[in-house]
């Protein structure tokens, strides 16, 4: 899994890119234009080719039925102010994409005609258009930096998701591990050598260490594979481009470079030292917090199926924090964001989303204090349940019994 | 558990007996410090037990279990190291026991590939690999065939000879009879019988004798009571005769000799099985 994982992750990025760059079959569309406005006005694209015909509609329709061409666009004599009756005939249901392309092309033709009618030429029109691009500057005490909501969002999302997935995947692994030890009865031999608390912490830390190693391998391999494959595809694409579009491609590339440059500029606005530190501590804190809860659940039940009912209350806060991310994104400094980042169950995911947008140090410090208190509390809670749970077999456990175990003396 | 007060003599085999649910496992778990008593203390080597003492104990729980995916060798090393052995010490011990049990080539086998009996053997080795001074065995013979039962029995006796104290919990009374020096019987969380096997048997003698004879026995003495009469395969009549405490076996014998031809005369000594059943029933009726 350590090796296959990164391949799977890389394929998540690469396959859609590959699919979208793949050449689709060029479809031929017949144009029967009774209005005369659209003759030779459609431009050929990589997916669409146009043939202008002059027969009558009935003959054209029968030809479409023969199946050689994709479809027939019939334009009757239309009133340019109220174009109606334009119809697309095809053997199959046409794709939305094709229809939209046709509609866009016709729209611009009609607009041009209307513009001409109001004696505005293309040059005048172009000079009327405006292009506005707001530069974002983050002001900090150490100076001004280019900011970017986009970059902050991406970084926030990635780090929040990484914490979320790590807890989920390895939390479940802790749960499974504890259930296995309990149901295979090895646990009684081991707790006759070490304290239950030590066994539990050993399990949590051990799975955590395995997980971190796996994560790092995944991360490195994923980046390697993704960059490797995507650079391969870039080269591939350039080679296959027809000569006349090179010009456009260069312009696009320039824009792309500009975008990348802007991204890099705005990366400066993010305090990566703080981000790395926060990621590390929230990561560890969240893992310990949730990990001990998963260990407690595992100790209380006899098999995976019984674990379901107790798993839900633990996973819901985790899923909830992922769902509210969009709301946090809308207002990274709002009161919802603030309060959720004070609650240890939510704070790791929420804070990772917020930190790229800038969070005051005192808030981070306060939130971390609560998180540490939180995981000390859940570890205590879990160890109380664990020490009794692992030796209990066959009895159905419910929340009342768990509560009783909690306050049972040693 | 209530007012449990037991003393396990050093270098003895101590049978911890009792019906299902009597509290044997709970008591064992308290001794091994898996759980803690609300009140009361456990003494070990003449002082109050401490957390370090678990390293001198070897515990074989009734419900056996090992990590299925691990290899035999590394599993034993892991368990031995939990008891404080170094890796090399563990390896030496494993070699010794593998040779003794003639399973030298098992080290690289996975636990899940072993049969249940073979796994039990591994677990037995795991229990004693660190030379514990106190060995607690909960139903050690379950899952073994008669040949392996004997191997384990011999091992237990040898461990005792080498100085270990063994607490032994079982329902198999014949192995209690065979192995144990001391016995405690627990029922419903109470100790109802406690002492050396010899003393307990002495105390449970009922002055009952089994006589095989030919002829007709007319019981003229009110101190003698024939409780059972049957025929043996050899054609003798077998009577079970209880005599009152003020009478001696000789009194019975002299009466018998006058009346019948005695072929065999034997005191009926209660088995541990009898004692167990009568004691537990006594409690039940009380």
- In degrees, rounded to 5, the angle at the alpha carbon of residue B72 between the alpha carbons of residues B69 and B74 is 85
Is B181 within 8 Å of B13 (Cβ atoms)?
Answer: yes
Is A24 within 8 Å of A46 (Cβ atoms)?
Answer: yes
Interface contact B54-A184, CB threshold 8 A: no
Residue B72's alpha-carbon distances to B69, B94, B110, B125, in angstroms, are 9, 10, 6, 11
Distance CA(B243)–CA(B260), nearest Å, equals 18
Distance CA(B24)–CA(B188), nearest Å, equals 10
Name the residue facing B65 among A186, A192, A193 (closest C-beta).
A186
User: A181 contacts in B (CB within 8 Å)?
Assistant: 67
Q: What pLDDT shows up at residue B130?
A: 92
DSSP A57-77: HHHHHHHHHTTSSSEEEEE-S
Distance CA(A339)–CA(B162), nearest Å, equals 66
A253 has a pLDDT exceeding 60: no
Residue A83's alpha-carbon distances to A43, A79, A80, A90, A113, in angstroms, are 21, 5, 5, 21, 13
The predicted model gives A392-407 an average pLDDT of 83
Of chain A, the percentage scoring pLDDT greater than 90 comes to: 22
Is A396 within 8 Å of A300 (Cβ atoms)?
Answer: no
User: B32 contacts in A (CB within 8 Å)?
Assistant: 192
Q: What pLDDT shows up at residue A148?
A: 62
A246 has a pLDDT exceeding 60: no
Mean predicted lDDT score pLDDT of chain B: 88
Residue A41 CB partners (closer than 8 Å, separation 6+): A105, A109
> CA nearest B39 in A: which residue?
A410
Of chain B, the percentage scoring pLDDT greater than 90 comes to: 34
Residue A218 phi, psi (nearest 5): -60, -50
User: B63 contacts in A (CB within 8 Å)?
Assistant: 185, 188, 393
B160 has a pLDDT exceeding 90: yes
A238 has a pLDDT exceeding 50: no
Please, which pLDDT band fits residue A209 given cuts at 50, 70 and 90? very high
Nearest one of B84, B80, B3 to B37, comparing CA atoms: B3
Burial class (CB in 10 A: 0-12, 13-18, 19+), B71: middle
Interface contact B123-A410, CB threshold 8 A: no
Q: Where are the domains of chain B?
A: 13-201, 206-268
Provide the 10 A C-beta neighbour count for residue A116: 11
HEC sequence for A112-166 = HHHHHHCCCCHHHHHHHCCCCCCCCEEEECCEEEECCHHHHHHHHHHHHHHHHHH
Tell me the fold of B206-268: Alpha-Beta Plaits (3.30.70)
The predicted model gives A378-405 an average pLDDT of 87
Distance CA(A326)–CA(A402), nearest Å, equals 35
Interface contact B59-A185, CB threshold 8 A: no
A interface with B, Cβ–Cβ < 8 A, is 181, 184-196, 391, 393, 409-410
Burial class (CB in 10 A: 0-12, 13-18, 19+), A325: buried
Distance CA(B156)–CA(B177), nearest Å, equals 14
A378 has a pLDDT exceeding 80: yes
Is A338 within 8 Å of A363 (Cβ atoms)?
Answer: yes
A8 has a pLDDT exceeding 90: no
Burial class (CB in 10 A: 0-12, 13-18, 19+), A20: exposed
> CA nearest A184 in B: which residue?
B65
Q: What pLDDT shows up at residue A241?
A: 45
Interface contact A192-B57, CB threshold 8 A: yes
A199 has a pLDDT exceeding 90: yes
Residue A70 CB partners (closer than 8 Å, separation 6+): A27, A28, A29, A90, A91, A94, A98
Interface contact B54-A188, CB threshold 8 A: no
Provide the 10 A C-beta neighbour count for residue A364: 20
B158 alpha carbon, distance to own chain's centre: 15
Q: Bigger pLDDT: A28 or B75?
A: B75
The per-residue pLDDT for range B244-274, each reduced to its tens digit, is 878 888 888 888 888 899 999 998 888 888 8
CATH H superfamily, domain B13-201 = P-loop containing nucleotide triphosphate hydrolases (3.40.50.300)
Q: What pLDDT shows up at residue A331?
A: 85
Q: What pLDDT shows up at residue A240?
A: 46
The predicted model gives A122-150 an average pLDDT of 69
Burial class (CB in 10 A: 0-12, 13-18, 19+), A342: middle
Distance CA(B36)–CA(A249), nearest Å, equals 77
A383 has a pLDDT exceeding 80: yes
Residue B161's alpha-carbon distances to A172, B55, B196, in angstroms, are 48, 20, 18
Interface contact B65-A187, CB threshold 8 A: yes
State whether residue B284 is helix, strand or coil: helix
- ipTM comes to 0.78
**The pTM is what?**
0.71
Size of chain A, expressed as the number of residues it contains: 410
> CA nearest B124 in A: which residue?
A189
A232 has a pLDDT exceeding 80: no
Residue B226 phi, psi (nearest 5): -85, 115
Q: Are domains B13-201 and B206-268 of this chain identical in fold?
A: no
Distance CA(B59)–CA(B127), nearest Å, equals 6
Domains of chain A (ranges; CATH) run 24-127 (3.40.190.10), 149-211+267-407 (no CATH)
Which ranges in B135-223 belong to alpha helices (H)? 146-161, 173-179, 197-203
Taking one residue from A and the other from B, the number of pairs with CB-CB distance under 8 angstroms is: 49
Sheet holding B134-138, edge to edge: B57-60, B134-138, B165-169, B13-17, B182-187, B190-196
Interface contact A189-B67, CB threshold 8 A: no
Distance CA(B284)–CA(B286), nearest Å, equals 6
Q: B31-45 burial, b if ≥16 CB within 10 A, otherwise e?
A: bbbbbeeeeeebebe
A256 has a pLDDT exceeding 60: no
Q: What pLDDT shows up at residue B89?
A: 93
Report the range of poorest mean pLDDT among A9-13, A171-175, A181-185, A337-341. A9-13
Nearest-Cα distance to chain A for B67, in Å, is: 7
Distance CA(B170)–CA(B140), nearest Å, equals 8
The number of C-alpha atoms within 13 Å of A81 and in the hemisphere containing its C-beta is 2
Compute the radius of gyration of chain B from its Cα atoms: 24
Q: What pLDDT shows up at residue B110?
A: 93
Distance CA(A80)–CA(A114), nearest Å, equals 8
Compute the radius of gyration of chain A from its Cα atoms: 31
Residue A259 CB partners (closer than 8 Å, separation 6+): none
The predicted model gives B199-203 an average pLDDT of 87
Residue A103's alpha-carbon distances to A46, A111, B46, B163, in angstroms, are 17, 12, 97, 97
Interface contact A193-B79, CB threshold 8 A: yes
Please, which pLDDT band fits residue A147 given cuts at 50, 70 and 90? low
The per-residue pLDDT for range B86-130, each reduced to its tens digit, is 999 999 999 999 999 888 888 899 999 998 888 989 999 999 999
Cα torsion A99, A102, A106, A108 to 10°: value is 100
């Amino acid at each position: 899994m350590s090796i296959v994982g990164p391949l799977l992750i890389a394929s998540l990025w690469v396959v859609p890119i590959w699919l979208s760059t793949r050449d689709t079959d060029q479809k031929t569309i017949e144009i029967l234009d009774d209005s005369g406005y659209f003759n030779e006005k459609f431009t050929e694209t990589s997916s669409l080719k146009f043939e202008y015909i002059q027969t009558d509609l009935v003959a054209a329709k029968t030809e479409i039925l023969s199946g050689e061409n994709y479809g027939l666009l019939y334009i009757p004599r239309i009133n340019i102010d109220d174009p109606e009756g334009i119809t697309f005939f095809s053997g199959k249901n046409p794709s939305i994409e094709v229809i939209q392309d046709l509609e866009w092309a016709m729209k611009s033709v009609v607009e041009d005609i209307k513009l001409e009618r109001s004696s505005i030429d293309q040059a005048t029109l172009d000079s009327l258009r405006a292009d506005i691009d707001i530069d974002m500057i983050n002001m900090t005490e150490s100076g001004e930096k280019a900011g970017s909501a986009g970059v902050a969002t991406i970084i926030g999302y990635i780090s929040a998701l990484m914490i979320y997935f790590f807890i989920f995947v390895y939390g479940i692994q802790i749960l499974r591990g504890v259930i296995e030890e309990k149901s295979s009865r090895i646990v009684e031999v081991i707790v006759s050598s070490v304290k239950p608390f030590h066994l539990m912490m050993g399990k949590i830390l051990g799975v955590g260490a395995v997980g971190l190693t796996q994560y790092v391998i995944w991360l490195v391999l994923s980046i390697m594979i993704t960059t490797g494959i995507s650079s391969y595809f870039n080269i591939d694409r350039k080679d296959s481009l027809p000569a006349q579009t090179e010009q456009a491609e260069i312009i696009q590339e320039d824009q792309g470079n500009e975008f990348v440059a802007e991204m890099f500029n705005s990366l400066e606005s993010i305090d990566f030292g703080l981000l790395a530190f926060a990621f590390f501590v929230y990561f560890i804190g969240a893992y310990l917090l949730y990990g001990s809860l998963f260990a407690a659940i595992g100790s209380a039940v006899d098999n995976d199926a019984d674990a379901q009912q107790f798993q839900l209350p633990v996973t819901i806060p985790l899923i909830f924090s992922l769902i509210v991310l969009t709301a946090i994104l809308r207002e990274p400094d709002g009161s919802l964001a603030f309060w959720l980042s004070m609650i240890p169950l939510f704070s790791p995911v929420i804070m990772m989303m917020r930190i790229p947008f800038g969070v005051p140090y005192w808030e981070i410090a306060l939130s971390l204090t609560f998180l540490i208190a939180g995981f000390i509390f859940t570890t205590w809670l879990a160890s109380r349940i664990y020490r009794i749970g692992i030796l209990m077999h066959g009895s159905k456990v419910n929340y009342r019994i768990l509560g009783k175990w909690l306050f049972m003396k040693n | 558990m209530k007012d449990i007060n037991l003393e396990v003599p050093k270098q003895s085999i101590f049978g911890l007996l009792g019906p299902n649910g009597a509290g044997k496992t709970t008591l064992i778990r308290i001794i091994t410090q898996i759980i803690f008593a609300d009140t009361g203390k456990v003494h070990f080597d003449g002082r109050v037990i401490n957390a370090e003492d678990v390293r001198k104990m070897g515990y074989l729980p009734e419900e056996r279990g090992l990590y299925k995916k691990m290899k035999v060798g590394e599993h034993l090393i892991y368990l031995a190291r939990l008891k404080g052995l170094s890796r090399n010490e563990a390896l030496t011990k494993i070699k010794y026991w593998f040779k003794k049990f003639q399973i030298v080539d098992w080290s690289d086998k996975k636990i899940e590939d072993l049969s249940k009996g073979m796994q039990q053997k591994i677990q037995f080795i795991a229990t004693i690999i660190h030379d514990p001074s106190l060995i607690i065995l909960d139903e050690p013979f379950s899952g073994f065939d008669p040949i392996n039962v004997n191997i384990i029995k011999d091992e237990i006796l040898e461990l005792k000879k080498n100085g270990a104290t063994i607490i032994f919990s079982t329902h198999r009374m014949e192995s209690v009879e065979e192995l144990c020096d001391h016995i405690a019987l627990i029922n419903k969380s109470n100790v109802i019988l406690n002492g050396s096997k010899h003393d307990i048997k002495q105390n449970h003698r009922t002055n009952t004798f089994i006589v095989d004879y030919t002829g007709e026995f007319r019981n003229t003495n009110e101190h003698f009571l024939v409780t059972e009469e049957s025929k043996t395969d050899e054609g003798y009549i077998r009577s079970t005769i209880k005599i009152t405490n003020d009478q001696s076996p000789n009194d019975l014998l002299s009466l018998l000799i006058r009346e019948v031809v005695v072929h065999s005369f034997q005191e009926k000594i209660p088995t541990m099985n009898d004692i167990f059943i009568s004691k537990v029933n006594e409690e039940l009726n009380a």
